[in-house]
Structure 1
Amino acid sequence: MASRGFWKGYLKLSLVTCPVAMTPATGEAEKIRFHTLNRATGNRVEGIYIDAESGRRVDDDDQARGYEREPGNYVVIEDDELDAVALESTRTIDIDTFVRADSIEWLWYDKPHFLMPDDPVGEEAFAVIREAMAVTGTVGLSRLVMYRRERPVMLEPRERGIVLWTLHYADELRAPEGYFEDIDGKADPDLVGLVSRLIDRRTRDWDRTLVHDPLQENLRALIEEKKKRRRPTKARRGRGGGETPTNVVDITAALKKSLAAEEARKRPGK
């Protein structure tokens, strides 16, 4: 059974409340991680805080949060002061607004989490909220303290559960204006047709294997070779891993060659 220990609280809509559990929809437990070692001794290296002026070590009890109001001058903020200004949205997801599901652009999305009922008694209330959003084509907006800060969140119905997305704050997301204006928006219709044909030949149904991480596979192979005390072989370049062309003289000719290569690759016996 999937883990449900990341977060537990309540989902609330007006007077309807049900206990829920949440777990991240993404994870890095399978990722290979490295420790920093002392090459001379082989021992792990510890990270410690050092006073920038005196060079002395600073104990945990003496570490404080500071906001730099001017160079070298800080305002110290204590933990109880942070607690006093924080909202109390630590254990309740109170949906206060709904918007059309297709009205939030993907740029606003941050991290996905699986939200599910945490008590059989609350499953009906959970299902009603989920299905009502699905029927109306809406998603719910709320706020929640996660990862030690308050975040805007979006609740999206998905199959029998709900996907809770943390969203970027408005001041975190840069507007595209100012980045794209200088790009020439014109495109040759004939070239668009050639690229469309190339896209058509490379289009397939989505599958999670399309976004696998080859670096992790190469690292595991390298580590296994190290374990056997053999000299690691040089990693082979994957498809598309060659040198980047510095200049394309004739884009039409290049596209036609690409289409011919695609057709040849898909012929029987290839």
Structure 2
Amino acid sequence: MAPRPFWTGYLKLSLVTCAVSMTPATTQAERIRFHMMNRKTGHRVVVQYVDAATGKPVDDDALVRAYPRGGDRYVLLEDDELDAVALDSTHTIEIERFVDADEIGWIWYDTPHYLMPDDAVGAEAFAVIRDAMRHTGTVGIARLVLYRREHAVLLEPRGKGIVVWTLRYGEEVRPPAECLPAEKASRPEPEALTQLGKVIGERLRSWNPEMIQDPVQARLQGIIAAKKRGRPRKPARAEPVAEDRVVNIMDALRASLKSAPKG
């Protein structure tokens, strides 16, 4: 069954507007989730806000967001004040500008969502915007309120729809110079590149999502299934493997080729 849209609104470019709906492109619905329990009583425990000074529980209607201004002083912000900050982008994705599709690096991409026309009337306008970006090799830049926060978003034509990526802000991205080595790396020998290319060729396969299955999920499912049957199974711990230190890169590459499975 197709997931229900979590956002509905309008896509706007100049005077062209159409109704659209959006669904997250990824899901964690199949991941195993746990509840915290009181071992002594077998009851679930709940998380509750308490006053830091009095230790007493705080009712939901007494909670308010606050911005620290120094010391013990805070600026209180009500929900309607926060909602009004970016009112125009709450229900409308207005494309403000376009950039070449290959100009934005992968590090700026955050969370993907699928955008589709929400009714037959707006399908043609949606298709025009989508195919115009595809024809010109561009992506659209807009702003949108998601998860109670305004995001810069990128619109990328994909198949019959559009993928809306939330983008990271500039202060969220570290410059490579802060994390990568400053000195120049030594240039590898051509023979080493040739040998490693052969190793890569031996391991080259067509992409398949099965390549990135989560082994921890499978082990947890096995443990849970055993407990349901009343036969608790102690999880087996993998023994650490001692690796020999690589002394000569060419010897290691030749050994890799000899041990690689054929075909």
TM-score by length of 2: 0.93
1:159 matched residue in structure 2: 159
Secondary structure, in 3 states, of the residue corresponding to 1:194? helix
5 Å-filtered alignment, 1:163-174, equals: 163-174=163-174
Secondary structure, in 3 states, of the residue corresponding to 1:29? coil
1:146 matched residue in structure 2: 146
Secondary structure, in 3 states, of the residue corresponding to 1:103? coil
2:253 matched residue in structure 1: 255
TM-score by length of 1: 0.90
Secondary structure, in 3 states, of the residue corresponding to 1:171? helix
C-alpha distance in 1 between matches for 2:96 and 2:71: 41
Identity, % of aligned positions:
52
Q: What's the C-alpha RMSD, in Å, of the aligned pairs?
A: 1.9
**Unaligned 5+ runs, structure 2:** none
Secondary structure, in 3 states, of the residue corresponding to 2:135? helix
The letter of the residue matching 1:209 is E
Secondary structure, in 3 states, of the residue corresponding to 1:204? coil
C-alpha distance in 2 between matches for 1:56 and 1:163: 46
The answer (yes or no) to whether the contact 1:87–1:150 under 8 Å persists in 2 is no
5 Å-filtered alignment, 1:1-270, equals: 1-182=1-182, 184-189=184-189, 190-235=191-236, 237=238, 243=241, 245=243, 247-262=245-260, 265-266=261-262
The answer (yes or no) to whether the contact 2:51–2:58 under 8 Å persists in 1 is yes
The answer (yes or no) to whether the contact 2:7–2:21 under 8 Å persists in 1 is yes
Number of residues of Structure 1 aligned to a counterpart in Structure 2:
262
**Unaligned 5+ runs, structure 1:** none
Secondary structure, in 3 states, of the residue corresponding to 2:185? coil
C-alpha distance in 2 between matches for 1:220 and 1:232: 11
Secondary structure, in 3 states, of the residue corresponding to 1:120? coil
The answer (yes or no) to whether the contact 2:90–2:144 under 8 Å persists in 1 is yes
Secondary structure, in 3 states, of the residue corresponding to 1:35? coil
The answer (yes or no) to whether the contact 1:67–1:74 under 8 Å persists in 2 is yes
How far is the alpha carbon of 1:193 from its aligned partner?
A: 2.3
Show structure 1 runs of 4+ deviating over 6 A. none
